[in-house]
Amino acid sequence: MEADMAEVARRLSQRCELPPRTQMEFRSFCVATLVWLHRLGPGSVRELKVRPAPTPLSLKTLICLLVEPCNRPHICSYALHAQEREWLGRRPEGDAVILTLPSEAVSLSRKEKEWLECYFRHVRPLCLKAYAAGTDDKGCFFLGASGLALTNPTADIQRLKAKYVKRQPPPPLDLLLQLARRGRPPLTCNPLRCLHLVIGGLFRTSFQST
């Protein structure tokens, strides 16, 4: 999974066009990094915020900038950075980044920081473009495809897990028979499936012996 997502991050950084589903999977990967590797709960993931966007300049102010830009350096500076937003609560510490949330703090490696930054710079803005009238991202770092704040991080990463994490195969029949004789069905097997396999195995064994 990590190799696939690293390739997605590389292509996003190069501004390659990717399917929306791939971009949402990369968002899920970033969420999973915080949940699986750093043990953050869903509430902590939702606490990750961004700096609110500045209020757009009025038409009158823009005209003044065009006519007399040098007389209003503070407005020029504002205009240059009007579209710049940052994710809050991060503090550099060597190659790592300390991410401070209201409930806890975690240390992100350089690679993990780059993944989150890639999402923030290249995926999140596309989510904002899908905004419907009257919606609000609530300053949340992670957004859904509709531009609304991600409310269920657990379900998000479960979909990623279903695609990339292979399911454990059922135990071999000889092991099932052995455990059945001891009265200890394996924990990794569904009880009904275990019973079906055991009965089927016993039936085949008795049939072969006749």
- Is pLDDT above 50 for 180? yes
Query: Structure pTM?
Result: 0.66
Instruction: Locate the domains of the chain by residue range.
Output: 2-51+86-164, 173-209
Mean pLDDT throughout 138-165? 88
Contact 150, 31 (CB under 8 A): yes
For 171, which DSSP code?
Answer: P
Distance of CA 74 to the CA centre of its chain: 37
More confident position, 93 or 81 = 93
What is the pLDDT at residue 204? 45
Confidence of residue 30 (pLDDT cuts 50, 70, 90): very high
Q: In 39-56, which positions are buried (b, 16+ CB within 10 angstroms) versus exposed (e)?
A: ebebebbbbbbbeeeeee
Among residues 35, 12, 10, 37, the alpha carbon closest in space to that of 155 is found at 35
H-assigned helices in the chain: 2-13, 20-32, 42-46, 59-67, 73-80, 110-118, 124-129, 153-164, 173-182, 191-209
- Least Cα distance to 182 among 162, 158, 198 occurs for 198
Question: Which one-letter DSSP state was computed for residue 71?
Answer: G
Q: Stretch 87-96: mean pLDDT, rounded?
A: 87
Closest CA to 157 of 48, 47, 45: 45
Phi, psi dihedrals of residue 48, rounded to the nearest 5°: -70, 120
Tens of pLDDT, residue by residue over 55-66, are 555 666 555 555
Question: What is residue 93's three-state secondary structure?
Answer: strand
> What is the residue-averaged pLDDT of the chain?
75
Q: State the pLDDT confidence band at 133, using cuts at 50, 70 and 90.
A: low
Dihedrals phi, psi of 49, to nearest 5 degrees:
-120, 170
Kindly state the average pLDDT of the residues 184-198: 50
Residue 150 has pLDDT above 60, yes or no: yes
* CA separation for the pair 33, 104 (Å, rounded): 16
Cα end-to-end span (Å), the chain: 50
